[in-house]
Structure 1
């Protein structure tokens, strides 16, 4: 049971990104302005509203920007002009 819990935590941690390195070497992380996202990454593949975790485990309504680069699909959640969460997947 313990081994299964640890592997699940590792899997969850592996798809979480707390910062994203941009092409110019800067880091994009939670708290940055959305204008920085558009400036360095351009227009997203998709943009939609969804519920996501923000703050200390709360769920809130966010706008999710989807980008594909570096062999991954990146999900950047924004709220009120600020990046609140960054996740990625290989799909």
Structure 2
């Protein structure tokens, strides 16, 4: 059964307690993946390094799990990462 809250165009908020740090607009759902555009809010800056490291880690996992792809196939990856 599909989650009715995970449809294209739905908007999610990312919060730390009562502090809104980002707004996510769902652009595609391909379970188990949900793709969204992220609008960062001013309080997001404190958390930017955490999300940047997660993006690097996901890229490393993709490269490790799929030897046929290169750094250029992974969005946001730089040569030598």
> Which structure is higher in strand share?
1
Provide the TM-score with structure 1 as the length reference: 0.22
> Which structure is higher in helix share?
2
Greater length-normalized contact order (CA 8 Å, ≥ 6 residues apart):
1
Provide the TM-score with structure 2 as the length reference: 0.24
